[in-house]
Amino acid sequence: MTQRPSILVARAIFPEVIERLREHFDVETNHTDAPFTPQQLAERLQGKVAVLTTGSERIGAELLAACPQLKVVANIAVGYNNFDVPAMTAAGVLATNTPDVLTETTADFGFALLMATARRVTESEHFLRAGLWSKWALHMFAGAEVHGSTLGILGMGRIGQGIARRGAHGFGMQVIYHNRSRLDAASEAACQARYVSKAELLKQADHLVLVLPYSAESHHAIGAAELAQMKPTATLINIARGGIVDDAALAVALRERRIAAAGLDVFEGEPQVHPDLLTVPNVVLTPHIASATITTRKAMANLAADNVIAFLTQGQPLTPLNPEVLPKVLNA
Ligand code: DGY
């Protein structure tokens, strides 16, 4: 009897997805869900041909050199800044992610965070829970208008376009965006979005939503200089990645009311959060949950599993990030 390939699932996922993987492979799991240190990960990967990862697991040249049997790393996330893709390609290791299945859910959350931030939902709830509400008042927690305002989007991929559609069609917002490349006319028309320079975006947006991938290029794309160009009444929403915003500079801008408020789902160095952000009232903070519905998280885990199954059983991954390695891995 030929031995079944061994794979690792680096974090706790849904039991039914593990069962699907067990139909094909010997599967080692991490029931505790404690993220592995790089050394633990390298140890667990000995003899494994595949691993399902999340953003907590870094896959770089050193780890790849220590795990020569590894053939495929399937991220349970659309973002893959935890992968050194060129190093994976050089090592002949396939990388996959989970696009599409989380687009609408994440766009929903972007809008939820925008609404909560603009309308001061959590700040007013904390006030109420603290027993501070003694009377109705005209000015109490008066926030910023959402409908009819100008929605700015930095990074206009699938999720950005989902947020644009919600803003334009649901809330009658004027949508402006900036992106590395401009959308084609049909895509712009579908979400009624107008392309502007980054400087115009910062200047005109009443609500600025960040949905761009993290890279060396986008590191601190929003820092003190950019915050200074925004309206003092503006809100800033980050559902992209920590590190795109300079969190220390943002905390200063919020404290000094240089912008009105921010909603953040992602942080530099998460799960640590810059201590100054924890003490300013005009920020809504959530723990990286933009794609977190049961349906979508199951779809993400299933797509990662499908990538590993389809690649290892038929040589055809569904959503490869570096398809150029396929001939090399398949002929190895
Ligand atoms: C993603 O899919 O990239 C989400 O941020 C979860 O990591």
Looking at every residue in the chain, the average pLDDT score rounds to: 97
Distance between CA atoms of residues 144 and 232, nearest Å: 11
pLDDT at 274 over 70: yes
Element (H, E) at 80: none
pLDDT at 1 over 80: no
pLDDT at 141 over 60: yes
The larger pLDDT score, comparing residue 331 to residue 304, is at: 304
Q: DSSP of 25-40, one letter per residue?
A: SEEE--TT-PPPPHHH
Q: How far is ligand 1, taken at its centre, from the CA of residue 83, in Å?
A: 13
Tens digit of each residue's pLDDT (9 = 90 or more) over 92-136:
999 999 999 999 999 999 999 999 999 999 999 999 999 999 999
Q: How far is ligand 1, taken at its centre, from the CA of residue 292, in Å?
A: 9
- The structure tokens listed for 275 are 């201590």
Q: Is ligand 1 within 6 A of the CB of residue 105?
A: no
Which residue shows structure tokens 């998460």? 270
In this prediction, residue 330 carries a pLDDT of 76
Ligand 1 atom with the shortest distance to the CA of 241 = 5
**Which residue lies with its CA nearest to atom 4 of ligand 1?**
77
Residues in the chain: 332
Q: Hey, which residues does 237 pair with through a beta bridge?
A: 209, 263
3-state secondary structure of 233: coil
Element (H, E) at 241: none
**Which residue lies with its CA nearest to atom 1 of ligand 1?**
77
Active-site residue, 241 included: yes
Ligand 1 atom with the shortest distance to the CA of 55 = 7
Q: How far is ligand 1, taken at its centre, from the CA of residue 153, in Å?
A: 18
Tens digit of each residue's pLDDT (9 = 90 or more) over 210-232:
999 999 999 999 999 999 999 99
Distance between CA atoms of residues 158 and 188, nearest Å: 12
Q: Which of 326, 311, 291, 316 is nearest to 54 (CA)?
A: 291
Q: Tell me which amino acid residue 224 is.
A: A
**Which residue lies with its CA nearest to atom 7 of ligand 1?**
77
Residue ranges of alpha helices (H) inside 205-256 are 224-229, 247-255
In this prediction, residue 328 carries a pLDDT of 82
3-state secondary structure of 178: strand
Of the residues 120, 241, 274, 297, only one is catalytic, namely 241
Active-site residue, 297 included: no
Lowest mean pLDDT among 25-34, 111-120, 305-314, 323-332: 323-332
Ligand 1 atom with the shortest distance to the CA of 80 = 3
Q: Is the dihedral of CA 138, 142, 145, 147 positive or negative?
A: negative
Q: Is ligand 1 within 6 A of the CB of residue 78?
A: yes
Of the residues 58, 158, 219, 288, only one is catalytic, namely 288
pLDDT at 247 over 90: yes
Determine the residue of 291, 296, 303 to mutate for testing ligand 1's pocket, defined as the one with the most ligand atoms within 8 A of the Cβ atom: 291
Active-site residue, 139 included: no
Q: Is ligand 1 within 6 A of the CB of residue 79?
A: yes
Determine the residue of 57, 78, 81 to mutate for testing ligand 1's pocket, defined as the one with the most ligand atoms within 8 A of the Cβ atom: 78
Q: How far is ligand 1, taken at its centre, from the CA of residue 78, in Å?
A: 5
Q: Is ligand 1 within 6 A of the CB of residue 291?
A: yes
